[in-house]
Amino acid sequence: MKTHTITTDPAARWLLLVLSLPTNSATGRMRIWRNLKALGCGSLRDGAYLLPFGDVQQQALQDLSEESLREGGSAWLLHVWAQTEDENLAFQTLFDRSGEYAVWLQTLADARPGLCNLKPQEITKLLRKMRREYEAFKSIDYFPGDGSNTLEAAWMDFMQAAESLLSVGEPQAVQAAIKMLAIDDYQGRTWATRQHLWVDRVACAWLIRRFIDKRARFVWLESVNDCPSDALGFDFDGAAFTHIGERVSFEVLLASFDLEGDRGLQRLGAMVHVLDVGNGFVPEASGFEAMLAGARPNARNDDDLLDKMSVVLDALYQHFSQVQPSTT
């Protein structure tokens, strides 16, 4: 008789939700099914859904269990362990996303050639839609592999192509050392960047006015060639503060003025980085981008836009300063 070694690997711990819903609750059944799909559950059979163990996943399945009971059905949420390594691998194959990834990658490939023919508002709308879908994939990619890497690379390429059309003159990163500067030497100065503010520029302007130079004066440039000689440029090629290595302009300002120790600013920098060049996932990023995209067409000018978005950035700074980063 063939024997199997029982695994004790913590990664072999799973959550199993067993549901039974009445047939006369079509709306409830559909809502619960959509939530199960959004969570990326693996299906063992009809009514039996599996997720890797985790606090977030457990709470989500507990909520669905309670909703099922309210709909007049039955629900059991169980902790289970794969009995062998082979069984654990079999469970993991239920979460293979390669088919979904292939469809989405083709959608990106089909949309890419037509970007240059879209209006800025249309590009922004498409970018928001595709970002939501990408972040949805990432949130349920419980066992990332080569397919996940391919997806991330394709998304970064698409995002950078779209952003380059939205932000003409986006700076190219340079390789240089970041000099430590004294905030006291940068008071009451004139600061300049490209007009029609977008993520990195509006965040930099907020950072300058809020933490570096409270008496800052801003010049919004139609052409960077018109930058005043006495102005401190930021976020364009040749500016005093621009992309260096892997850092976007906001992160360069943090490093230059020794502000990286501030947890709220550090996490804001991670959000700006994701929105500007990709490489990472910050849950709040898509919401900030949506608010900026909504405020931009209605702002009287860039000063007005900065004022509107400063309220948002102040709130995000408080949120990031107080909330511990998720480890799940």
Position 4 scores a pLDDT of: 47
Q: Is 292 exposed, middle or buried (0-12, 13-18, 19+ CB in 10 A)?
A: buried
Return the closest-CA partner of residue 203 out of 324, 287, 314: 314
Position 327 scores a pLDDT of: 45
Choose between 203 and 11: higher pLDDT. Answer: 203
The number of helices, as runs of H, and strands, as runs of E, in the chain is 11, 7
User: Average pLDDT of 156-181?
Assistant: 82
Q: Look at residue 91 and tell me whether its pLDDT is greater than 90.
A: yes
Instruction: Please report, for the chain, the start and end positions of each structural domain, with discontinuous segments joined by +.
Output: 10-93, 98-166, 183-322
Q: Are 256 and 179 in contact (CB under 8 A)?
A: yes
Q: Look at residue 160 and tell me whether its pLDDT is greater than 80.
A: no
Share of the chain above pLDDT 70, in %: 94
Name the strand (E) or helix (H) holding 205.
Answer: helix 199-207
Q: Look at residue 322 and tell me whether its pLDDT is greater than 60.
A: yes
Q: Strand 74-81 and strand 13-20: pairing? A: antiparallel
User: Average pLDDT of 104-128?
Assistant: 88
Tokens 């997720």 belong to residue: 51
Position 1 scores a pLDDT of: 43
The end-to-end CA distance of the chain, in Å, is 40
Residue 184 Ramachandran class (φ > 0 left, ψ -120 to 50 alpha, else beta): alpha
Position 149 scores a pLDDT of: 87
Position 167 scores a pLDDT of: 66
Q: Look at residue 122 and tell me whether its pLDDT is greater than 90.
A: no
Which tens digit of pLDDT belongs to each residue from 186-201? 999 999 999 989 999 9
Which tens digit of pLDDT belongs to each residue from 269-305? 999 999 888 777 888 988 898 899 888 888 999 999 9
Position 325 scores a pLDDT of: 55
- Backbone φ and ψ for 16, nearest 5 degrees, come out as -120, 120
Choose between 28 and 11: higher pLDDT. Answer: 28
Q: Are 289 and 128 in contact (CB under 8 A)?
A: yes
Q: Look at residue 109 and tell me whether its pLDDT is greater than 50.
A: yes
Q: Look at residue 2 and tell me whether its pLDDT is greater than 60.
A: no
| pLDDT band per the 50, 70, 90 thresholds, residue 263 | very high
Which tens digit of pLDDT belongs to each residue from 229-258? 999 999 999 999 999 999 999 999 999 999
Position 128 scores a pLDDT of: 85
Share of the chain above pLDDT 90, in %: 62
- Backbone φ and ψ for 13, nearest 5 degrees, come out as -90, 135
User: Average pLDDT of 264-269?
Assistant: 96
User: Average pLDDT of 52-63?
Assistant: 94
Position 125 scores a pLDDT of: 85
Between CA 67 and CA 73, with CA 70 as vertex, the angle to 5 degrees is 90
CATH of domain 10-93: 3.30.70.240
Q: Look at residue 326 and tell me whether its pLDDT is greater than 80.
A: no
Strand, helix or coil at 244? strand
Interacting residues of 98 by C-beta distance below 8 A, sequence separation 6+: 147
Q: Look at residue 11 and tell me whether its pLDDT is greater than 60.
A: yes
Q: Look at residue 309 and tell me whether its pLDDT is greater than 90.
A: yes
Interatomic CA distance for residues 204 and 272, integer angstroms: 10
Over the range 181-200, which residues count as b (16 or more CB within 10 Å of their CB) and which as e? Answer: beeeebeeeebbbbebbbbb
Residue 62 Ramachandran class (φ > 0 left, ψ -120 to 50 alpha, else beta): alpha
Largest interatomic CA distance in the chain: 84
User: Average pLDDT of 172-196?
Assistant: 94
Which tens digit of pLDDT belongs to each residue from 31-41? 999 999 999 99
Q: Are 194 and 221 in contact (CB under 8 A)?
A: yes
- In Å, how far are 21, 73, 135, 138, 157 from 141, measured between CA atoms? 28, 29, 10, 5, 20
154 C-beta neighbours (distance < 10 Å), count: 17
User: Average pLDDT of 144-154?
Assistant: 88
